[in-house]
Amino acid sequence: MTLKGRKAVVTGSTSGIGLAYARAFAQEGADVMINGFGEAGAIEAERARIEADFGVKAVYSAADMTKPDQIAAMVAEAETTFGALDILVNNAGIQHVSPIEDFPPEKWDMILAINLSAAFHAMRAAIPGMKSRGWGRIISTASAHSLVASPFKSAYVSAKHAIAGLTKTAALELATHKITVNCISPGYVWTPLVEKQIPDTMKARGLTKEQVIQNVILEAQPTKEFVTSEQVAAIAAFLCSDAAAQITGANISIDGGWTAA
């Protein structure tokens, strides 16, 4: 129970990697605030399951990561409900696959808002409390696309490269405050986000579903296997431990060898 008594907010944690982070922190004893969209009954079931499985407090925030005022209110609510916010994970993210000349400008704006600017707004709100308590962990889910590009993902690749830069900047600013700031860069993890981009990739490249999975997605990953959400979450739990106190400003790859090539 390395996180007993810690309080965590994980954005975009109603499914996929975010939900795995929330469950991994709860397993280590942290109280968690989950966030994201979805069907109300399903979200409540996941929230209750965290409390039942791990005996911690789990609450839900419906804050929309495109709205800076809602992001600040989410952080304030966590501090009021839990009495502190020790761990912030910027994880909410969306994707859109299209050639630049056809890329809808409103999709560009939305991807930059959710995948990049939301992290700035959440950090801005969370840092004063972390500084005053002299402890904090800020983690963002970047991507292999923070290090390398793929065609047809201009907004996503731009936002993910930028989140790695934001991570390094915040790490330097907070280095003497016992607050570490890192990002994790997964390769392909089988989640709704990956599943949803298959039809657009089929269209953009003129391929079948099987060809997209084998020749596009797993083509990039030398192990030819998907990363699991639980493997990504295990890194986050480690980054929150005392053993990781000197890891800051890092961009940690978990990509089956993708960015080694």
CA nearest 239: which of 142, 116, 165?
Answer: 142
CB of 229 to ligand NAD, least distance (A): 7
Question: Which of 120/135 has CB closer to ligand NAD?
Answer: 120
Is 65 a binding residue for ligand NAD by CB under 6 A? The answer is yes
Is 199 a binding residue for ligand NAD by CB under 6 A? The answer is no
Using alpha carbons only, how large is the chain's radius of gyration in Å? 18
In the range 95-114, which residues lie near ligand NAD by CB under 6 A?
114
Is 256 a binding residue for ligand NAD by CB under 6 A? The answer is no
21 is known as an active-site residue: no
Q: Which residue(s) pair with 9 in the sheet?
A: 33, 88
CB of 68 to ligand NAD, least distance (A): 12
> Which alpha helices (H) appear in 92-228, and where do they start and end?
105-112, 118-133, 154-174, 192-205, 209-211
Cα 183 to Cα 252: distance, rounded to the nearest angstrom: 6
Amino acid at 180: T
CA angle 40, 42, 43 (to 5 degrees): 65
CB of 132 to ligand NAD, least distance (A): 27
Annotated active-site residue in 21, 60, 156, 188 = 156
Q: Which residues bind ligand NAD (CB under 6 A)?
A: 12-18, 35-38, 64-66, 91-94, 114-115, 141, 143, 186, 188-189, 191-194
Catalytic positions are: 156
